[in-house]
Amino acid sequence: METTTQGTTQGSAQSSPQGSTEAAAPSATAERRPVTRKRRLFPPMTLKLGVGLSIAGLIVLFGLIGPLVVGDPSTVRDIGLTGPGHGFLLGTTQTGQDIFAQLAYATRGSLIIGVVVGAITLLLSSFFGLVGAFVGGWVDEAFSLLTNIMLVIPGLPLVIVISSYVPNKSIWLVAAVLAITSWAGSARVLRGFTLSVRSRDYVLAARIGGEKRWRILLVEILPNLIPLLASQVVFAVIFAILGEAGLSFLGLGASGSFTWGTMLYFAQNGLSLRLGAWWWFAPPGLLIALFGAALSLINFSIDEIINPKLRSQTRAERNRWGMSREQRQAAAEVTV
């Protein structure tokens, strides 16, 4: 077998010396191993992931550094509704407030909401999804009953009721309300996956080996759920930022703090659309759209790890599977 394949390759390319193939083999395996190790922890760097990460990174950087550089976003001046450029990078509001400064603070506010909701959702959904499915029995029944109840409670009306009930809402309260209404879906997904992992042989083997139950959950089961958890968190962050923007736009958001939603709310109240003050509502709207798109792109890359069938299914990828024009010509010549 070995000799025949070597014979044919040497027949087609006679000058190739035998030594070079032998030398190439071990170096190829040596190069391959660290790559596989890295690939297990991080998704492969594709165009999608690169674009998503850089847009999200820029926005996060703006939210972190921006508020330190700009002036007070609430300062009222007598130059209302000036367009961009006249001493203010993005112009001013009706009451002469610096929109760029507001945008920096709003970015920070929205990101805080996203991160807090992401973290709380991660905790709640992995507690109710993972622990319930792993322990089983009546705990599982109770947990999935609670999850199902939370799932059918319509999210937005509940959020509106809670936020209209509390008069002075901090940004943390809004985040908590959003988190409580949004963890149930991912808890169900996690429960399903945990049920399938729980009965796999390696978990049984760990039980037979005498591992403690919490250790089986944390060391044997949890690492296999990391891609799933990551995509759930990213989704929760998108949901939180959009949800908060929606709430604030309805005037039910956090009072006295800046987020993209409150900026849009004030722009709407200040009749920016009718007055043609695009520089007031366009930047926060654009940032919401861009950040959502960037996180979605990141999520698609994570999805491709969870479900490899999604990979290489774009038209460009599939075209690459076929023969090149030269190959097709060569094939045609051979067959004719």
Closest separation between CB of residue 312 and other proteins, Å? 19
Which lies closer to other proteins via its Cβ, residue 81 or residue 216? 216
List beta partners, residue 98: 92
326 contributes a contact to other proteins by CB under 8 A: no
Residues contacting other proteins: total by CB under 8 A:
19
List beta partners, residue 41: none
Which lies closer to other proteins via its Cβ, residue 44 or residue 157? 44
E strand segments, the chain: none
60 contributes a contact to other proteins by CB under 8 A: no
Q: How far is CA 14 from CA 17, 18, 25, 154, in A?
A: 8, 10, 19, 72
208 contributes a contact to other proteins by CB under 8 A: yes
Q: Which of 125, 124, 132, 77 is nearest to 102 (CA)?
A: 77
28 contributes a contact to other proteins by CB under 8 A: no
Q: Which stretch, 8-16, 18-26, 183-191, 203-211, contacts other proteins (CB under 8 A)?
A: 203-211
Dihedral, CA of residue 292, residue 190, residue 45 and residue 31, to nearest 10: 170
In angstroms, the CA 128 to CA 255 distance is 32
How many residues does this entry show for the chain? Answer: 336
Which lies closer to other proteins via its Cβ, residue 216 or residue 267? 216
Percentages of the chain per state (helix, strand, coil), in multiples of 5: 75, 0, 25
Which lies closer to other proteins via its Cβ, residue 29 or residue 313? 29
Q: What is the contact mask toward other proteins in residues 232 to 271, using x (rule: CB under 8 A)?
A: ----------------------------------------
In angstroms, the CA 61 to CA 80 distance is 29
135 contributes a contact to other proteins by CB under 8 A: no
137 contributes a contact to other proteins by CB under 8 A: no
Closest separation between CB of residue 41 and other proteins, Å? 10
Would you tell me which residues interact with other proteins (CB under 8 A)?
A: 33, 36-37, 40, 200-202, 204-211, 219-220, 223-224
